[in-house]
Amino acid sequence: MEQLEDPAQRSALRLEYATLGWNGAEAVITIALGIAAGSLALVGFGVDSLVELFASLVVVWHLRPGGSDQDVERRTEVALRLIAVAFAVLGLVLGLGAVANLIGGHRPEESWWGIAYLAVTVVVMVTLGVLKRRVAEQMGSAPLRSEATVSLLDAGLAAATLVGLALNAMLDWWWADPLAALLIAVVAWREARENWLEAGESDA
């Protein structure tokens, strides 16, 4: 295996490995908590974590040595399109589910464990996002800079989901949960569009 000589590249890989570990655990925990509480927002956040985990794998793919420039560009285009499709499917499923829950008046149960975990997630993902952006500027790496934005987006979605769960738990505002899920759906569609357009640019 080739050694990475660039300290910034090693730092970037360490940050991506940390993100992979966190998002993997995040997906399992939040989906399980969401199913237990009947919270579409929590389940949606967990599935979104799986998509972001895939985005991190794409960046690791970029950072590892090996392959010609043409091979890397081709892999990038394919990966970005796969990420775009995954985000689009996530947005569609969440959007339909959220509308159905709003119309049907589905009331999720309280999830204090979910609220606590999301609060920690906000801190962790903001920290990772800021550190990745700093390293990306040092390396001049557009993929890493883009993935840093995904981490910060994850923090924002965690905060929005947390607010929805808290409003449901403290004020019995059951509609806050499907509204939070709708927000995640809108962001997922936006990410799908941006990744698809970026794939087209990389192919140009």
> Which tens digit of pLDDT belongs to each residue from 63-98?
776 656 677 678 778 877 888 888 888 888 888 888
pLDDT recorded at residue 143: 78
Q: Is 2 within the bounds of a domain?
A: no
Domain that holds residue 146: 7-203
Contact 162, 118 (CB under 8 A): yes
Q: Is 161 within the bounds of a domain?
A: yes
Query: Number of folded domains in the chain?
Result: 1
Q: Is 105 within the bounds of a domain?
A: yes
* Residue entry with tokens 């738990």: 169
CATH assignment of the domain containing 186: 1.20.1510
Q: Is 129 within the bounds of a domain?
A: yes
Q: Is 1 within the bounds of a domain?
A: no
Gap between the Cα atoms of 70 and 82, Å rounded: 19
Token pair listed for 67: 């392959």
List pLDDT tens digits, range 145-194: 878 888 888 888 888 889 988 998 899 899 988 888 898 889 889 988 98
Gap between the Cα atoms of 131 and 193, Å rounded: 26
Contact 12, 144 (CB under 8 A): yes
List pLDDT tens digits, range 2-39: 455 578 888 999 999 999 999 999 999 999 999 999 88
For 3, how many CA atoms within 13 A lie in the half-sphere containing its CB? 2
Q: Is 123 within the bounds of a domain?
A: yes
Q: Is 111 within the bounds of a domain?
A: yes
Q: Is 181 within the bounds of a domain?
A: yes
